[in-house]
Structure 1
Amino acid sequence: MELISNILLIAGALGAAVYCIVLSRRLKKFNQLESGMGGAIAVLSAQVDELTKALEKAQSTANTSAEQLRTLTKRAEIGAEKLEIMLASLHDLPEPAPQDTTPEPRPAPTVPPEPVMTEAADAPKRPRVVRRRNRDNMEAAE
């Protein structure tokens, strides 16, 4: 009986050794960085890091834009209040005095005299001179 139990014990140990060898090989293939799941996990980990950085950058940009929008909104509200005060002050102005609404007579249009044809009409025309302002001294409107 002892011999049978020893044989079964040796067979069990050999089976466990073969099972461990098979698992070891599969685990090595699984963890290879170039072709196995380890590579896929490494790539996904890098993508998660990149997305985290992009998300942080987008959040900071959104916060900056929101702050600028708040500032501009506050300035617009102040400007609107000033305009309302100005409009309200226009209602307090006195009515202008009525003016004479009769139209002034317009002078009759003058007809230019017809040009007299002379020998000078055949002469070549003089070139026209156009003078322009110096734009260096002018300020640009903002």
Structure 2
Amino acid sequence: MELLSNLLLFAAALGAGFYCLILSRRLKRFSGLETGMGGAIAVLSAQVDDLARVLGQARTAAQDSAARLEERTQRAESAARQLELMLAALHDLPPEADPSAGARARFVRRRMSPQDGEMG
């Protein structure tokens, strides 16, 4: 009986050793940097770093674009206010003479100055 239990114990130890050997080989293949999961993890890590860098550049570009858009919107609003004032001033002018009498309407053209969008 003791011999049988020793044989069973020896077989169990031999089976556990064989299982550990197979598991060790699989783990080496799994964590290999060139072909295994370790390589995939290294590639993904590099891609995450690249993505973070590109995302930072995109964020900076978006902030710059937003600042330029805000500046141009303010300039457009300023020009719109000035145009509204000019139109309101036109309503105060007296009616002109009959256009068929040969009188020509006079127009004053103004150009926007490059500085802060004010009429010059």
Q: Does the pair score TM above 0.5? A: yes
RMSD: 2.1
1:99–1:50 distance in 2 versus 1, CA, 3 Å = closer
Q: How many residues align?
A: 103
Counterpart position of 1:32: 32
Counterpart position of 1:16: 16
What does the per-residue CA deviation read over 1:89-115, in whole Å, with 9 as the maximum and x for residues that have no partner? Answer: 11112234558937xxxxxxxxxxxxx
Q: What are the equivalent positions in structure 2 for 1:1-142 lying under 5 Å apart?
A: 1-97=1-97, 101=101
Higher-RCO chain (CA-CA 8 Å, sequence separation at least 6): 2
List gaps (5 residues or longer) in structure 2. Answer: 103-113, 115-120
Identity of aligned residues (%): 58
1:84–1:41 distance in 2 versus 1, CA, 3 Å = same
TM-score norm. by structure 2 comes to 0.75
The one-letter code sitting in structure 1 at the alignment partner of 2:43 is V
List gaps (5 residues or longer) in structure 1. Answer: 103-141
- SS of corresponding position for 2:85: helix
Tell me which structure has the larger Cα radius of gyration.
1
CA–CA separation in structure 2 for the residues paired with 1:32 and 1:100: 94
Displacement after TM superposition at 1:84 (Å): 0.6
Displacement after TM superposition at 1:61 (Å): 1.0
The one-letter code sitting in structure 2 at the alignment partner of 1:57 is Q
Runs in 1 of length 4+ with deviation above 2 angstroms?
A: 94-102
CA–CA separation in structure 2 for the residues paired with 1:15 and 1:99: 113
Please identify which structure carries the higher helix content.
2
